[in-house]
Structure 1
Amino acid sequence: MTSKNSLKMLAIALFAGLFVFTSCKNKDGDKTEETAKLSIEFEKYELANGLDVVLHQDKSDPIVSLAIQYGVGSNREKTGRTGFAHLFEHMLFQESENVGQDQFFKKIQDAGGTLNGGTWKDGTIYYEIVPKNAMEMIMWLESDRMGYLINTVTESAFYNQQEVVQNEKRQRVDNNPYGHTNWVLDKNLYPEGHPYNWQVIGELVDLQNATVEDVREFYDRFYGPNNATLVLAGDFEIDEAKAMIEKYFGEIKRRQEVEPLQPQNITLAETKRLYHEDNFATAPQLNMVWPTVEQYTPDAYALDFLAEIISSGKKAPLYKVLVKEKDLTSQTSAYNNSQQLAGEFHIRITANNDKNLKDVEAGIFEAFTMFEKDGVTDRDIERIKAGLETQFYNGISSVLGKSFQLAQYNVFAGDPGFIEEDIENIKKVTKEDVMRVYNTYIKEKPFVMTSFVPKGKMELIADNSTKAPVVEEEIKENVAKTVEEKQEEIVKTPSNFDRTVEPTQGEAPALSIPESWTASLTNGIKVYGIEQNEVPTVNFSLVIEGGHLLDDKNKNGVANLMTDIMMEGTVNKTPLELEEEIELLGASINMYTTNESIIIRGNTLTRNFEKTMKLIEEILLEPRWDEEEFALIKTRTINQIKRAQANPNVVASNVYNKLLYGEDHIFSYPTSGTEASVEAITINDLKDFYTKNFSPSISTFHVVGKINKENALKNLKGLEAKWAAKEVTIPEYPVANNRDKASLYFVDIPNAKQSVINIGYIALPRTDKDFYPAEVMNYKLGGSFSGNVNLILREEKGYTYGARTNFSGTKIPGTFTASSSVRTNTTGESVQIFKDQIANYKNGISEEDLAFTKNALVKSNARRFETQFNLLGMLQEMSSYDLPANYIEGEEQIIKGMTLEQHKALANKYLDESKMAYLVVGDAATQFAQFKKMGFDEVKLLDKEGEEVKLKDVKM
């Protein structure tokens, strides 16, 4: 399920990005840009049982989104009974009285849809997006778990999800650098008993001690219709939708009345300073948090602006002091987190390696002094507001985004139409407001501070810090818990109709691929475009072939540094001036390196596309080569590389690539480079790379949005005229699968709470005729939540938060990979399960599984063209592999024509578990020895660079 953090950040993004303009016509009929109110049309009503219903029609795509938000997050829990809201989110995906075990995901995928849920401190939400013909089915599913679920919550089902949630905690918290930070902050910011005193994921001991009776009581209190908001958005008819909602939800009985929670803001009597030696961190990190105010208050809006002004961009005082002047860090971060009950203002600084956090603390207060002296300008306020319009349109570009927004406004503001007031509140923020909230909440006020430092680096903590009582799980032998199930028939809750009958779906929407256009510029740039007029924005990308392929193995990382330096000013604009120009347009421009290309991506309002493209011309054709910024970029990159060495997932990815591609292939080297290679790179290396390898002859421009072909090409005239073509030769690196045995490789991460598993070998390129058929073949093995490996390792065993298999490939052969992060004491068994499942899959699948695969893949095409981002991806795939505009039709025919015999033949051709590399990154002391007895052709211990080490060098 979705983590509370990702969902919360989505909610913050939706709430923050609401400063909008609309156009109106003057007396001559011409459009003028004037500020106007904007609202999303909706109808709200209430069922007799208390369920709030919000309907929003959007017929731009043949899909519907259903979101149900319950007024229950971790804020409704009690000390000693934490994690219940999140645990119950998981339980609601298991089974209900009329929907079988694990059928929620399978039925939605079978209909071509997707679903998930999320829990955060203030709420829980469940959602589905499906083709419109499946609307009644998702109402049946959602209503069944709202009103007809609790009788199915058995000991075994509950125990399984306890295990899954504990693995989620291990993956997100225990096995991550700085993972325990929020626990320490909240425990010390909020007093015992305050609803924000604990984490959404809960305490491990509480999760382990929870009982079925606890869960039943929690469900009865908080998961009734009178504590929920249902939002339906998309392509439907109002009267038909209302009738379905009444049929499926109207008969569900009210439950206990839930009293609204009132704000519980807190104050600190004194500053609290704590430290923790972090098992995974390679650099020290300082967090400072001040208590503020709840959401939707005038001060909350001003605090959002304050965070942006003091930390974001080259003008920010934190950046000037900590990055430019003192070289203490390469990045500064601050944000205000105003929630339903209380608010927090955060500053988070991950220091450069071996920098002392007491110096970082002193630097933060120097930055405050600078801020007090320089103040806030009208231009600061203007540039922040400028970006919010674009963010708003991005947030409502999908029916799901609108569903979330309407639901959250209804729950927290009591009105789905609160958007207009929210916008006005943002527009009212002044520079005086920003200074006022700084003086009220931050200046000379007590705070909570944490110093997280690498193991053995106590000298780096801030002064006067005390040890935080972080509890870390001990690695123990896996002991399977046996739960005896009473074979009792599930008692069915009475209903006005037979809920065991799944609604028929009718005919699925026909494939309708948006019309695209192409063009070629005189200097060789190929152009692909799609006009989509749903929101007044444009998304675009310029793809320059080469990227990491053009790196010299002896100076690896030049391409990556190139994309960073190109965004640091132009000949006529300083880095600060370029940054402000982009922000004042409400645009975003990013440049990054992939294995095979350098990409410039942009997002802007249609009315500002011309000015945005002028900046693209400057960035591309007039680089500044700023020596001071280059030094900062190198420091930042080296810091990132060092930190990645402590992240088990990054270690696994790097070693896996080295094992499969071999030292002679550039893909065995990380795109970012190594510490040594980056240190050796000079700015002249970047200039040489630019001179030799940037050319329109190997470039393709993609544009999607509210812009036609004529206007798009008109705004490319500058690049066409000014950018001359040159010949660029991209190196070829032959690669093939030459593995002839099953090899087990183990990388030691002492005391790791999970093991990262990557299994596979070189497979085939995206351009191979078998590539897409192989993807179809893989779907039931591990290409979806309902894949065999996930159903066993997560749903049956409870060993992991997720397991998957996939084929990757471009013009260069990619890999077949099976992967997961599993509880440490299940490592050996999990590897064996992967191996067995890959082997068994070659025996063929059932007719039912093949039908499921076909339905899931074909019907999901209804969701494939909804947003500009989706369409941009389609254009990039077309151009990268020279595919026809209707290539998705060809993919559909491959799916529909797949037979059991073809499926089996593909599995036998591309899956051979006896010749794969089996990589495990985890705790060698407890997990390595067992693999010598598991029948592998060879078993090797490797270091984090993928080099073999002797067993005596590892503490066992």
Structure 2
Amino acid sequence: MKLSKLNIALVVAAGITACSSQQAPSGSLPAGVTFIEQHQPQGDVVAIPYQKFELANGLTVIVHEDHSDPLVHVDVTYHVGSAREELGKSGFAHFFEHMMFQGSENVADEEHFRIVTEAGGTLNGTTNADRTNYFQTVPVNQLEKMLWLEADRMGFFLDAVTQEQFDIQQATVKNERGQMVDNRPYGRLWERVSQAKYEFGHPYSWPVIGHMDDIDRTTMDDLKNFFLRWYGPNNATLTIGGAVTTKEVLELAEKYFGSIPRGPEVEAMAKSPAQLQENRYISMEDNVHLPLVFISVPTVYAGHPDAPALNVLADILGSGNNSMLYQSLVRPSLAVQASAGHNCMELACNFTMMALAHPAAGKNLADIEAIIRQNLAAIEERGVNDDDLNRAIAAIEARSIFGLQSVAGKVSQLAYNQTFFNQPDRIADILQAYQSVTEDDVMRVYRQYVQDKPGVIMSVVPRGQTHLIAAEDNYTPRVYDPEVDGTESKLADLPMRRATDTFDRSIQPEAAANPAVMVPDTWSMTLANGIEVLATENDETPTSSLLLKIPAGSYYNTTEQAGLASMLASMLNESTENYSTEDMSMALELLGSSVRISAGDKDINVFVSSLTSNLPQTLALVEEKLRRPAFTEEDFNRLKQQQLQGLEHSLKDGGYLASNAYRQLMYGDHSMAMPSGGTIDTITDMTLQDVQAFYQQQFKPAGGSLIAVSNLSQSELTPVLTSFLSDWQGSAESLAFEAPWPEVDTATVYLVHKDDSPHSEIRIGRRALTRDLTGDFYEAYLMNFVLGGNFNSRINLNLREDKGYTYGARSGFSGNEFAGVFTASASVRADVTAASIEEFIYELNRFRTDGITDEELAFMRSAVNQSEALRYETPNAKLGFMAQMQEFNAGPEFTRERNHIVETISQQRINELAAQYLDPAEMVIVVVGDVELVRPQLEALGYPIVEM
């Protein structure tokens, strides 16, 4: 879909009523398909065109035609999430999502991932409190195959599932909870707050991922009954977007889904925001560095007319540098972070406020809570100004337009809004709602829902520091007890449903020829200051995305300067000679633009996202940031303290510890071994003068690059870019060093201790290849694809799907022009740390000695080559592709060379690479975990052990 370059706010306001039509599409519909509505924007309205239909069995089908790229996105959303679970069976909706990838009657175990990957596509599924969705993005010639897959698990799932599959996924979900919740700092925050906020038995009182005891209690009968109750076509929406025709989609939808019988009728759940009579204080000790206070106050529900005004209120209180909480807590260094938000779900919304206390300030969480409440009281005095409303409107307008850049983004919006509001495209209504918000509305919702209203106040403090909590606990939630509350399910004896077909579903549909893929047409020029420009026109949305790369990354720092480039990037995000940090943030927000500055290995990267109509104003602000930074002591000291606290926090993260240890072993005492954010020692020693000196010495345009994706033509964009940074001159030192090869004992376990860790982080690897586009490095990537480079890889199927040791395991080559490594990694249960290492070593040795099979080689060829249709769809994807072209001074023809390599690489060549780089005897093994738990296991492996 293409949008013009007109002012979007005016267009939306003028065209809101001109979007929908009840006129049926031309041509006859397949039997059993009923037309519901057609939504076609008139003129330049910001909207997502679609047609909506319904099958006789109740399945809603939404089609969005977008022929800009040869791909299609397929989404099936079921209106069931954790809110529809039974008491004592929490986590089942999410567990069931896992089970739906384990095969169906005509699709073997693990085949769903394999089929989509081999088709060149991507896929996943997600669960929240209110819905579960499954989605695939594939080349458009694979549409029928995707509908066959989705229909098979909707209609033919139960007879295929086995107890073994059930047991494996039960273990996988428990691993996911351990890795993503129990072993993550503050990971149980939402779970504890929800448990205290909602009364016993409320559908939001338990976590989506579930309680471990409840997951253990699930049975195959639960699985069967959950499917029969909620997974009928009448409780689902099939949304398809891409280079398709509505006629084709309807014929295939009716063929594959039409015969699936309806499920039980599903009624809407009652809206049920929490009802609190007084503040509920709860607390917990956690393996964290910074104490956190979190306040949650019940408000309305998703779609309520007061939600936009509450969102504006949350922005005023706690969004960005201009917010009240930032000014009162973060700027004076009383907190490392502070924010507010208004979070909505189908049945309830909550107004939330949080702060991470700064230890150096000497404040406990009671002090921080008092400051938050002082800010709430000050809202009456402060009121609401025009900028508050305008920046909220600008943000929602920009998000709406940027959300149209991918077919997946548009399809997900259509599916969400149909599921919860029976109105697939709500962009115009949402924009109208925000444009209608007044100062009086914001103050009214503040008084009605937030002012002096009771909430849940949660304190999370480091272990042994309960004296820091905001207040003594005054509420203990009731916990499910099967002995008291019973275990009998209300879902029992539901009748089986069976489709009757006139065709053989066991035959997998054949895909047509691969679609023609158009590599972006690019043009280039060199600015007067030496910045090399590479650009392309992309007229699907009226937006511009730019990536400016200045050669001043962390590799330009010595080991004693680690973190200096990162600190410079942070300082460039602060005040300038003519703008305070707050004024700059406000100016960008009013434009609907974003500017992100960060430090990479070789470059400081400046990412700019703007509505094209506002691009000149946005670039003027970017130039102010880059050319006229204020470098104030106040900004530096605040950022320095925040970085130090962030590093302390990172030391509680097993993944961070594993990465640091692994880099040290790979690169020794060298800048490549240092974390980009620095260390506590290097940041402590850093001065503002160091940052200024590095800026003056290294932050120069010569050698830089600028990549642009815009709906402007070359003739239109050239003068904009030519005037950008036109008076900035100078060159700096080029990066020239050799990555060291430190002497390190291989076939050795390097052990790093992490207190009370239920999971262990594993890294197994070695130094390998420098990066290239079409040479040995790329061939090694192809070699690794079936070993550890996709979901169906040998490593992941072994450790996750067969053993249930982890939520995910992988391997791969990474590198740059100086050095590269091969790494196999996973986060595994602590009790199977040694067993997991054994399986890694087994798979490495098996692949090294036996090589790739004919079937695996064919799978890799198909998966890699067919994925090209997905590589250039969005502006960000184009930026990444063009960044590779610039880095390696290559033309777009390198993609043809890569395709040729994929088609012709021999089994012998892949096996040679495996033999050369996959010998475990030449690798190190890094383990981060609780030494007391894992060392006895590791000793049994027989490797030397070195504690780091």
Shared fold, TM over 0.5: yes
1:166 aligns with 2:174: yes
1:772 aligns with 2:778: yes
1:337 aligns with 2:343: yes
Per the TM alignment, residue 185 of structure 1 is displaced from its structure 2 partner at its CA by 0.4
The correspondence for 1:460, drawn from 468, 490, 510, is 468
Distance 2:478 2:842 in 1: 38
Per the TM alignment, residue 463 of structure 1 is displaced from its structure 2 partner at its CA by 2.3
Conserved in 2, the CA contact under 8 Å of 1:284 and 1:452? yes
Aligned to 1:850: 857
Conserved in 2, the CA contact under 8 Å of 1:20 and 1:38? no
The correspondence for 2:676, drawn from 671, 674, 681, is 671
Conserved in 2, the CA contact under 8 Å of 1:19 and 1:426? no
Conserved in 1, the CA contact under 8 Å of 2:326 and 2:339? no
1:570-618 Cα offsets, whole Å, 9 max, x none, are: 2111211111111111100010001111011100001111111111211
Query: Which amino acid counterpart does residue 729 of structure 2 have in structure 1?
Result: A
* Structure 1 residues 169-568: aligned runs within 5 Å: 169-278=177-286, 280-325=287-332, 327-353=333-359, 355-465=363-473, 494-568=500-574
Aligned to 1:14: none
Distance 1:909 1:740 in 2: 19
1:762 aligns with 2:767: yes
1:832 aligns with 2:838: yes
Query: Which amino acid counterpart does residue 714 of structure 1 have in structure 2?
Result: P
Distance 1:523 1:550 in 2: 21
Aligned to 1:30: none
Per the TM alignment, residue 552 of structure 1 is displaced from its structure 2 partner at its CA by 2.8
Conserved in 2, the CA contact under 8 Å of 1:64 and 1:135? yes
Per the TM alignment, residue 767 of structure 1 is displaced from its structure 2 partner at its CA by 3.2
Per the TM alignment, residue 468 of structure 1 is displaced from its structure 2 partner at its CA by 6.7
Distance 1:228 1:738 in 2: 59
1:705-726 Cα offsets, whole Å, 9 max, x none, are: 2122233221223345311122
Per the TM alignment, residue 506 of structure 1 is displaced from its structure 2 partner at its CA by 1.4
Change in Cα spacing, 1:779 to 1:338, as seen in structure 2 (3 Å) is same
Distance 1:889 1:551 in 2: 38
1:169-192 Cα offsets, whole Å, 9 max, x none, are: 001100011111111101110001
Structure 1 ranges of 4+ moved more than 6 A: 23-26, 467-471
Distance 1:362 1:924 in 2: 41
**Two-structure CA RMSD over aligned residues (Å):** 2.1
Distance 2:10 2:305 in 1: 21
Per the TM alignment, residue 106 of structure 1 is displaced from its structure 2 partner at its CA by 0.1
Per the TM alignment, residue 21 of structure 1 is displaced from its structure 2 partner at its CA by 5.3
Conserved in 2, the CA contact under 8 Å of 1:132 and 1:509? yes
Aligned to 1:692: 697
Query: Which amino acid counterpart does residue 841 of structure 1 have in structure 2?
Result: F
Query: Which amino acid counterpart does residue 123 of structure 2 have in structure 1?
Result: L
Conserved in 1, the CA contact under 8 Å of 2:277 and 2:454? yes
Per the TM alignment, residue 19 of structure 1 is displaced from its structure 2 partner at its CA by 8.3
1:898 aligns with 2:900: no
Distance 1:287 1:112 in 2: 43
Per the TM alignment, residue 737 of structure 1 is displaced from its structure 2 partner at its CA by 7.4
1:93 aligns with 2:106: no
Change in Cα spacing, 1:446 to 1:740, as seen in structure 2 (3 Å) is closer
Distance 2:731 2:476 in 1: 60
Query: Which amino acid counterpart does residue 109 of structure 1 have in structure 2?
Result: T
Aligned to 2:931: 924
1:649-672 Cα offsets, whole Å, 9 max, x none, are: 111111111121102x10211111
Query: Which amino acid counterpart does residue 189 of structure 1 have in structure 2?
Result: K
Per the TM alignment, residue 313 of structure 1 is displaced from its structure 2 partner at its CA by 2.4
Conserved in 2, the CA contact under 8 Å of 1:184 and 1:468? no
1:102 aligns with 2:110: yes
Query: Which amino acid counterpart does residue 910 of structure 1 have in structure 2?
Result: Y
Conserved in 2, the CA contact under 8 Å of 1:765 and 1:771? yes
1:327-359 Cα offsets, whole Å, 9 max, x none, are: 221221111112111111111211123641111
1:673-732 Cα offsets, whole Å, 9 max, x none, are: 112221221111111101110111121011002122233221223345311122423241
Change in Cα spacing, 1:813 to 1:430, as seen in structure 2 (3 Å) is same
Conserved in 1, the CA contact under 8 Å of 2:595 and 2:606? yes
Conserved in 2, the CA contact under 8 Å of 1:521 and 1:720? no
Conserved in 1, the CA contact under 8 Å of 2:314 and 2:341? yes
1:611-634 Cα offsets, whole Å, 9 max, x none, are: 111112111111111221111111
The correspondence for 2:663, drawn from 657, 665, 670, is 657
Aligned to 2:728: 723
Aligned to 2:875: 868
The correspondence for 2:740, drawn from 714, 735, 738, is 735
Distance 1:308 1:730 in 2: 43
TM-score, normalisation: structure 2: 0.92
Aligned to 1:934: 941
Aligned to 2:155: 147
Unaligned runs of 5+ in 1: 1-17, 27-33, 472-489, 943-956
Q: Does the residue aligned with 2:511 lie in a helix, a strand or coil? A: coil
Distance 1:696 1:419 in 2: 41
Aligned to 1:51: 59
The correspondence for 1:784, drawn from 774, 790, 796, is 790
Q: Does the residue aligned with 1:49 lie in a helix, a strand or coil? A: coil
1:222-242 Cα offsets, whole Å, 9 max, x none, are: 000000010010011221211
Change in Cα spacing, 1:817 to 1:921, as seen in structure 2 (3 Å) is same
Per the TM alignment, residue 20 of structure 1 is displaced from its structure 2 partner at its CA by 5.3
Per the TM alignment, residue 297 of structure 1 is displaced from its structure 2 partner at its CA by 1.0
1:285-323 Cα offsets, whole Å, 9 max, x none, are: 111000110011121111111111111223211111112
Per the TM alignment, residue 494 of structure 1 is displaced from its structure 2 partner at its CA by 4.2
Identity %: 36
Conserved in 1, the CA contact under 8 Å of 2:301 and 2:348? yes
Query: Which amino acid counterpart does residue 908 of structure 1 have in structure 2?
Result: A
Distance 1:177 1:455 in 2: 12
Change in Cα spacing, 1:75 to 1:19, as seen in structure 2 (3 Å) is farther
Query: Which amino acid counterpart does residue 713 of structure 1 have in structure 2?
Result: T
Aligned to 2:813: 807
Query: Which amino acid counterpart does residue 597 of structure 1 have in structure 2?
Result: D
Aligned to 1:69: 77
Distance 1:245 1:928 in 2: 55
